[in-house]
Chain A
Amino acid sequence: MLGDRVCSKCGQLIPRGTAECPICSPPRAFQVRREIMLLVYLGLLIVLGTITGFAVKAFNRVDKRIGWSWYTQGEASLQRGDAAAAVLDYRNALYHDRSNPSYELQLAHALVASGHFDEARTYLTRLWATDPANGPVNLELAQLEMRSKNVPGVINYYHAAIDGVWPHMVAQGRLQLRERLCNYLIAQGLRPEALAELMALAAQTPNDAQIQAQVAGLFSRVGDYDSALKQYQESLRLNSRLASAWAGAGKAAFELGDYEAARHYLNRAVARNPHDRESAKLLEVASDVIGLDPFDRRVPFQTRRKRAIFDFNHAVSGLVDCAKTKGQQLGAPAPQTDLQTAYAQAVKMKRQMRLSAFRRNPDLMEGGMKLAFQIEQLTAKECGPPQAIGQALLLIANQNKGIGQ
């Protein structure tokens, strides 16, 4: 740029290769009024802007297409379970379409899957900062917080995910999220927090039998059977053909100790879904409880006494079977084990357990049943959970805890 001549007009150096002073002598063709020149230039500027626009658009189109092809490749890698390859693909996709949050989110997802938690967290935190209501981002962050065992963080991000914006989310999806949060809270032993979640959810649940039944199921999971039963009843009001709702209501009623209602619901559940083994089993137990309870004041005395004898005998035979499996001799002269002691007491009591004896001694039935319940509990402790009748006896015992006290 150093010149070797000096302009005679302005005294400045004229750059090498230039004949005239560039400052003093602009080209003749352009020696027009400044304003006209400016107008012409503005026209050229518009042309330049248009060309720039077209060029940028064309390149963006190509770049986005390339980004999309890498993205689809990443999706395929992720579906194959190759998270490391997916990470590379998503990185390539992002390189070509940096402003695409979906790519970034998927990259974070793949990073989590491939164990790069710190990097994933950075991407997610940044995405969250730009869009705090983004449901998928909050969900990914909640899962990262789960790994860090940061319970308040999990709850916060789950809440944000449940209430957040999802591209194609339906109520069912939010319910599933709530369910996952509840599962997490239950697993962490945070029942009050889980219940609070469910209360909030129940208030927002739409008039959809399926969803109502799902909410009721969640109530069952946290042990609030009263709310669960109400929710199932609501579900059945909306759709009485929903077998799962009948089954759920039956179970809730069963857990509440309302075996009559449980039998009613479970009967309907089994009728609608004969393959529902759990309901069938519960139905059997519920029926046994109803049919074997000697303290049910709605049935005649005679029947109650017969039930007491049956229950006692069933408990003793269960005790004998249990001792057999354990290899213990029940007739031993000096009882050593609990089973032997219980058997000795049972033998003594069995002699009195007759219908005629009940008439003479009304307290005998309570004493016999008390021993029967003790035997049943001991058998369950020694030899595992009993079968249907045994279970029913335990439930009857549970219902009549005050007996003998």
Chain B
Amino acid sequence: MENSGNPNPAPPSEVISHQPGVAQRTRPSLEQLGGQAADYLRRLGNGIVGGLTLREGPLFLLLSVIIGLTSGFLVVCFHESIQWIHLVMFGSSLRPPIWRLLLFPTVSGLAIAAAVILVFNEVRGSGVNQTKAAVYIYDGYISFRTVVGKFLLCALALGSGQSLGPEDPSLQIGAGVASVLGRYLHLSREKIRMLAPVGAAAGLAAAFNAPISASIFVLEEVVGQWNAGVLGAILLGAVSGAVVLRTFLGSEPFFRFPVVYSVHPVEFLAYGVLGVVGGFAGVIFIRLIEFLRPRLKALPKRTQYFQPAVAGLMVGVIALGFPQVMGAGYYFIDQATHNQYVWKTLAFLALFKIVATLVSYVSGTPGGMFAPALFIGAMLGGAVGGIEHWLFPAHTGPVGIYALVGMGTMFAAFLRVPLTSVFMVLELSGNYAIILPLIVANTLAYLISRKYHSVPLFDLLSRQDGIELPSIEEQREEPELRVEDAMRRPDFPVLTGGETVREALQDVMQTDRPHFLVNLGNGVWALADRNKLQEQAATNGELALKAVFREVPLPWVHPDQRLDAALRLIGNRPLLPVLSRSNLNRIEGIVSLDDILKAYGESGHGSNRS
């Protein structure tokens, strides 16, 4: 597709010599065949669809569903591909033979590295950031090659046991599909830009089987705003994607958790401890990535052919003792929640998963961090729960619930998406009894992560790649300036429409201000100019102000409105009245362009990273 606009023009498709005795014939080019097919389709289509024309608005919603379905199909295929590859490489046993554990991840690593460097260069890196880049930099453009590359290489990487997850690639596959479809349907640039998050949500929803969390994640991390139009489309896409997944792979959640009906109040302390542990684990994990990734990238290019292979070998070696660390590890999360492991094993699994994921990720192997984060969180949670159960058996619930909450804490601390972390756990478990401990643990983990590592993971990765994407966390926490932050009391008398020009002039003599506000009644305001008043007084001083200024009503703002609204309205006017919402004839203050700029300057909006 990228080569569709080949700069080298194709030769004429069919050259038939008319010279007698010469039957020279060349084959028609692909482009011409395409053109003929397009003409045929055009004629056929016009006949069939007749007067049916879709405008962009309704088409956008329809496309959200179509993209959701497409992403769902692709993610299901992606999921099955990973399973097939894993089955072929490691056999059906949970404890594969040693030679397979060492050979296949290494050889696959070599193949993946070669493919990434030679064919699918865009596949390397975080799918979330690439989708954000598409939205913010490339007008929603994600190449079809990226979609294909993500699908093939991530399936091979995950199937061969690299410690990465399928959610991030699924997200990008969905976004890529949306982008390609939007381009082929000649949608406007704005719509294409909006479609990428819809596809991302659909892909993530299908990968997680959790449409609400996927939508919230995309809004929280990719879009960064809760725009109603985008929200509806994202939800439609996510639900469609999840429906496809459930149709093909069943509606059972990926993780099955023990039943819990209530949490003992004393246990909140235990969940607090879990939040603290999860928070520090998240910080350590981010710091390790921050330290290792740029160093490996800085190595000579030829080493990049071997980095995924070395990572694969290391994962294989770890798998000799702990085969659970390979791949996404959903099944083992399930086992951990069913008390299969003692707390020491769980702690070791968390530790080795961090190591395995770290080497897989920093080596440039394509794949996501969602599943590993969940795995590490579940194991840490299980370990903390196990210790607490050992110390206080009477006051501790099932270890599986700790694993569940642990998943949320790791999500909050490592990926820094606090809202998604809560919704995801609720959606995955379908259990609302744990919402309070979950919020306690996640909040603690999130705050610790922020305290000890100011840059969120996705921002860190994009900055390491030299791309300055908007930090959604920073945006979210940026103080929002309102009109009340810039307004001041009027330092001049406020005139009324009933006053005569002469009376008004007497009033304004007390001040040297050049402009004054005139209340014309019924919420209509005007701006009076000292010079104009003086001119009017010279010709007809007894004329009422409402007769003089009724032609030019002044826009106004309210104190609670955003300051940029005032900026848009003020234009070249010297000031705007700030009116009470309950009484449009009562003035709360005035705001001028200087006031607005001063407020922006004082809030620190001028610097890039405050």
Contacts and interface: CB of A to CB of B under 8 A. Distances in A.
Interface of A: 1, 10, 12-13, 15, 17-20, 22-23, 25-42, 45, 48-49, 51-53, 55-56, 59, 62-63, 66, 69-70, 88, 91-92, 95-96, 98-99, 118-119, 121-123, 125-126, 129
Contact of A28 (B31, B77, B339): B31
A37 B35 CA distance: 14
B37 interface: yes
A23 B4 contact: no
Given A23-B183, A92-B94, A32 B38 contact: yes
Contact of A26 (B122, B186, B400): B186
B338 A119 contact: yes
A123 B331 CA distance: 14
Interface residues of B, number: 72
A103 B396 CA distance: 29
B59 interface: yes
Interface stretch (B135-143, B454-462, B550-558, B590-598): B135-143
Contact of B83 (A51, A59, A129): A59
Given A32-B38, A88-B94, 4 more contacts: A30-B184, A41-B184, A55-B76, A59-B84
B258 A122 contact: yes
B433 interface: no
In the A-B complex, list the 9 residue pairs whose CB atoms are closest, starting with the nearest.
A36-B45, A29-B34, A20-B5, A27-B4, A19-B5, A129-B259, A119-B339, A122-B338, A66-B92
B4 A20 contact: yes
Interface of B: 1-7, 31, 34-35, 37-38, 41-42, 44-46, 48-49, 52-54, 59, 62, 66, 69-70, 73-74, 76-77, 80, 83-84, 87, 92-95, 122, 130, 133, 137-139, 141, 143, 181, 183-186, 189, 192, 244, 248-250, 252, 256-259, 331, 334-335, 337-340, 398, 400
A141 to B, nearest CB: 12
Given A1-B122, A122-B339, A49 B250 contact: no
A70 B34 CA distance: 52
B430 to A, nearest CB: 11
Contacts of A33: 42, 45-46, 49
A1 B138 contact: yes
Contact of A10 (B5, B189, B248, B256): B189
Nearest to B5: A20
Contacts of B248: 52-53, 56
Contacts of A38: 54, 59, 62, 66, 185
Nearest to A49: B73
Contacts of A56: 76, 80, 248-249
Contact of A126 (B4, B49, B259): B259
Contact of B49 (A35, A55, A62, A129): A35
A92 B92 contact: yes
B2 A15 contact: yes
A12 B49 contact: no
Contacts of A95: 92, 94, 331
A29 B39 CA distance: 9
A19 B49 contact: no
A63 B250 CA distance: 14
Contacts of B53: 35
Contacts of A92: 92-94
Nearest to A12: B139
A9 to B, nearest CB: 11
A206 to B, nearest CB: 36
Given A13-B138, A38-B185, A122-B339, A29 B3 contact: no
A111 to B, nearest CB: 9
A29 B37 contact: yes
A107 to B, nearest CB: 9
19 contacts: A19-B4, A19-B5, A23-B139, A27-B5, A27-B34, A28-B4, A32-B38, A33-B49, A37-B184, A52-B77, A55-B76, A59-B80, A92-B92, A95-B94, A95-B331, A122-B337, A122-B398, A123-B338, A125-B258
